[in-house]
Amino acid sequence: MTNVTTEDAAQPVIYKGLAGVPVDYTAISKVNGDTNSLLYRGFAVQDLAARCSFEEVAYLLWQGELPDERQLAEFETRERSLRHLDHVVRRVIDELPTTAHPMDVLRTAVSVIGARDPSAADASPEANLDKAMRLYAQLPAIVAYDQRRRHGLELVEPRDDLSYSANFLFMVFGDVADLEVVSAFDVSMILYAEHSFNASTFTARVITSTLSDLYSAVTGAIGALKGPLHGGANEAVMHTFEEIKTADRVSAWLDDALANKHKIMGFGHRVYKNGDSRVPTMRAAMESMLVHFDRPDLLELYVELEADMGARKNIKPNLDYPAGPTYHVMGFDTATFTPLFVASRVVGWTAHVMEQLTANALIRPLSVYNGAPQRELPL
């Protein structure tokens, strides 16, 4: 990312894309590009993925500490009690064409939930935590129902005897998934949950900084996440795999893509220049799924594209690269991948909404005008 100066040397430097510009403090997560590390509230994300459930991680991100046994039991009970799809949200989804992108469906559904909440404007920490919990608990039902209706399938009601991830998979596929699949899915939810001032979280913070409500912040964040330079890349990775088809075609495909100056989806990162902290953990989960679902061909393609991109451009995969094939073999539609990211990241977004409100300042940067000089209207 190149910084741009204007022709007038007295003008300020423009930091395009705010690259490298710290804009506020956060105690929620630390992304360290130099050491390729990521901490949630001080804990390494790899350790959380290995030893905690997504429910524990959600509690940690919101409350700042891991729950004890009683706190976790209460948290799980509350989440399980809120899982049912709101009947009005369902009716609105039914009105939308099945050709609508699932991210558009999700954005609309969150907006409807906000419009139906009489306490939407209550910005107290308790009310915001309550709203965050409702969204966290209800998004899986929305994502699941939307995938099913696109296949002409009926809604599957949630089960309150299953964990967050087991129930999510149950509502999408109608069967209780194998433990190994649930575990890989839970790892993906943990890894996607939070990443400091990425574009969608920053969007949520900008919206919150105007003292707008949490639902508006999440709706805006969904819009920001949809783009292929951000969350939309996990979906785009799968389109790339489908286009390349087999490992032996990678080199020719890459010749063409790079010659045409295409970005290779699932590679590169604004902060991590030597590899994404989350990739080794997600890659291990992906490999277990490719063995589980007997897809060695996808691993070959994955390895070949990674090696070729490394050799030619020295650009490393980001989290979306291993997440795409993982969700594919689990049976998710490609267009459902980014909504899965939303279901997880809603935890990070809402933690940032609450943090922003504890020390708010309207986010309003400056621009340097480079349009026409002042002139008179034509007579």
Ligand X SMILES: O=C([O-])CC(=O)C(=O)O
Ligand Y SMILES: CC(=O)SCCNC(=O)CCNC(=O)[C@H](O)C(C)(C)COP(=O)(O)OP(=O)(O)OC[C@H]1O[C@@H](n2cnc3c(N)ncnc32)[C@H](O)[C@@H]1OP(=O)(O)O
Integer angstrom CA distances of residue 226 from 19, 94, 188: 20, 21, 18
Q: What does the block give as tokens for 114?
A: 């906000």
CB of 275 vs ligand Y, minimal distance in Å: 12
Answer with the entry of ligand X, ligand Y, none that 233 interacts with (C-beta below 5 to 8 A by kind): ligand Y
**Sign of the CA dihedral running 92, 97, 98, 103:** negative
352: contact with ligand X by CB under 6 A: no
Q: Any catalytic annotation for residue 87?
A: no
Stretch that binds ligand Y, among 42-50, 145-153, 267-275, 347-355 (CB under 6 A): 267-275
Max intra-chain CA distance, the chain: 76
Residue 126: CB atoms within 10 Å: 9
Which is closer to ligand X, CB of 29 or CB of 167? Answer: 29
Amino acid (1-letter code) at residue 296: P
* Position among 41, 80, 83, 195 found at the interface with ligand X (CB under 6 A): 195
Answer with the entry of ligand X, ligand Y, none that 265 interacts with (C-beta below 5 to 8 A by kind): ligand Y
198: contact with ligand X by CB under 6 A: yes
Q: Any catalytic annotation for residue 269?
A: yes
Residue 29: CB atoms within 10 Å: 22
Stretch that binds ligand X, among 130-138, 203-211, 268-276, 295-303 (CB under 6 A): 268-276
Catalytic: which of 269, 276, 308, 328? 269
End-to-end Cα, the chain, rounded Å: 44
Answer with the entry of ligand Y, ligand X, none that 176 interacts with (C-beta below 5 to 8 A by kind): none
284: contact with ligand Y by CB under 6 A: no
Distance CA 90, CA 93 (A): 5
Q: Any catalytic annotation for residue 320?
A: yes
Answer with the entry of ligand X, ligand Y, none that 263 interacts with (C-beta below 5 to 8 A by kind): ligand Y
Binding to ligand Y by CB under 6 A, coded x per residue (else -) over 310-339, reads ---x-x--xxx-------------------
Catalytic: which of 195, 213, 230, 308? 230
Rounded to 10°, the helix 214-226/199-209 angle is 150
Answer with the entry of ligand X, ligand Y, none that 144 interacts with (C-beta below 5 to 8 A by kind): none
CB of 43 vs ligand X, minimal distance in Å: 17
Distant-in-sequence contacts of 50-54, Cβ < 8 A, 24+ apart:
50/281, 52/190, 53/163, 53/164, 53/165, 53/186, 54/163, 54/164, 54/165, 54/186, 54/189, 54/190, 54/193, 54/344
Contact residues toward ligand Y (CB under 6 A) are 1, 17, 228-231, 233, 263-270, 313, 315, 318-320
Question: What amino acid positions are annotated as catalytic residues?
Answer: 230, 269, 320
Contact residues toward ligand X (CB under 6 A) are 195, 198, 269-271, 318-319
